[in-house]
Each structure stands twice: as structure tokens, then as C-alpha cells.
Amino acid sequence: MNDKLVIIPTYNEKENIENIIRCVFSLKPAFDILIIEDNSPDGTAGIVKSLQQEFTNLYMLERKGKLGLGTAYIAGFKWALEHGYQYIFEMDADFSHNPQDLVRLYEACAGGADMSIGSRYVTGVNVVNWPMSRVLLSYFASKYVRMITGMKVHDATAGFVCYTRRVLETIDLDRIRFKGYAFQIEMKFTARTLGFVLKEVPIIFTDRTLGSSKMSKGIIKEAVFGVITMKIRATAGKIKAIKQPSIG
């Protein structure tokens, strides 16, 4: 059985979904894929179902509608743990994350990290096709997170991540609160608070060329105020493991 699973949430990704699936399946070492499909009206689920006839290691969870990025990943994490995967990845469907970099994220965790992060900012600013306003927003948001939380992570909102199984087994996933970009911050902050080793792997992030962005003002607001909430909860000792991590 393969021990590596890539979780890809989708909503209206018909332009990208087949290509991203084929790219991931072309990689060595091999990765399985789990699509979390939020009832896309554009027929994304139908494309995935047709590809399941070709790829036996392509799986899909269909949900009733857009329930938030965080809940999609939580559903995927629980599915991955139930099915015995050791390395669990988050990745976007739109090629903003280069599938080739999955191999480097895996190697970082196989080499000793508990969680590896595809980082746009660990070696400067490595973003392509974003307007300057969005680059500055994202960059300074990560600076803000570092200042408030004390995390030594340059790209706290990154959504290109590899978790080892023990991280997801240890975190109480039912207590993760946020749904948008704050979800990404909360997962990193919780893992760090519980003593896990986080490693940033430099990547080049390329904004989508097909389909539309899911960014919204509500997502940004959640991230800004969510960081303060997380810090208060950590200070109050409310971030606890579902079981004690076996660090070392």
C-alpha cells in the first residue's frame, strides 16, 4: 500500500482537475490522491469519476456544498488516518502549487521534519502573477503572524504542506476552529505549540491561470483576528493534544 496521500479540495475546477491529477500520478515516488469535492456546479465531480476508471488510487469525498477550506481538509485528514497513510499533503487544484514540489515536501518529512511547508517567503518573495497589492498583503500577513505568535515560520498562510501521521493523530482535529486562511495558520501554530518540528521548503508560487480565485475579504478578516484568538488560547493553555506526541 502507498503511504502518501495528496488531499485536493475542489470547487469549480473543471479547467484544472484532470491535468493536476495526471501530473501528481506521474511523479516518483508514487502518491495517492483524495479529492474533496464541494458540489461544484461546473461538473468537476464528473471528471474525477471518469478518471477513477483509469486510476485505482484516485479517491473522492463528495460534500453537499461549500463548507470551507478548513472543514474540507479536516475531512480529508480523518479519511487519511482511517486508511493508514503516513504522509498527508495539502495542495491546491489550480497549479499555483507545482506538483513536482510534492517530492521535496515528502523528502523533508522523511528526513526528520514532522511537518514541511512549501514556503513562498523563506528565501525572499517567490510569487508569480500576483498583483503587488496581494503580494504585500500576503507577505506582511506572515510577518504579522510571526510577531503575534512567535512562530519562526516565514509563510504562515501557506497551503502547500506535508504532515506526518503522528502530527494529525496528536492534534485534536475537532477543536480546529477556522475555515479559511486562518485554518492554515492554526494548524501550524498548533503543531508548533505541541512541540513538533516544522521545516520550510522554498517553492515558487504561481497564481492560477484557469478558473477563479476563492479569496475574499471575510477570509482575510478571519486570518487577522484569528491569530490573536489563537495566541490567547495558547497562553491560557487551551491548545492540547488528543494524545501525547511521541517526539524524538
pLDDT in tens, 130-158: 677 767 777 777 788 888 888 889 888 89
**What pLDDT score was predicted for residue 220?**
58
Please list the alpha-helical segments (H only) found in the chain: 17-25, 44-52, 69-82, 101-110, 132-149, 165-170, 181-193, 217-235
In whole angstroms, give the CA distance from residue 80 to residue 68: 19
- CATH number, domain with residue 137: 3.90.550.10
Instruction: Examine residue 248 and state whether it is found in any structural domain, yes or no.
Output: no
Give the count of domains, the chain.
1
Q: Which range, 37-51, 60-74, 111-125, 195-209, is most confident?
A: 37-51
Q: How confident is the model at residue 60 (pLDDT cuts 50, 70, 90)?
A: very high
Residue 191 and residue 213: Cα distance in Å, rounded?
28
Pull the grid cell for residue 247. 517526539
Report the C-alpha gap between 33 and 19 in whole angstroms: 13
pLDDT at 211 over 50: no
User: Cβ contacts of residue 30 below 8 Å, gap of 6+?
Assistant: 2, 4, 57
Can you give the pTM of this predicted structure? 0.86
Say what the pLDDT of residue 136 is.
75
Distance of CA 236 to the CA centre of its chain: 27
pLDDT tier for residue 165 given thresholds of 50, 70 and 90: very high
Q: Is the pLDDT of residue 8 over 60?
A: yes
Q: Is residue 72 part of a domain?
A: yes
pLDDT at 209 (0 to 100): 56
Cα angle 113, 116, 119 (rounded to 5 degrees) comes to: 140
Q: Domain containing 100: what range? A: 4-235
Q: How would residue 66 be classed by pLDDT, with cut points 50, 70 and 90?
A: confident
In a domain, 149, yes or no: yes
Please say if the pLDDT value at position 177 is more than 90.
Answer: no
Task: Choose between 5 and 180: higher pLDDT.
Answer: 5
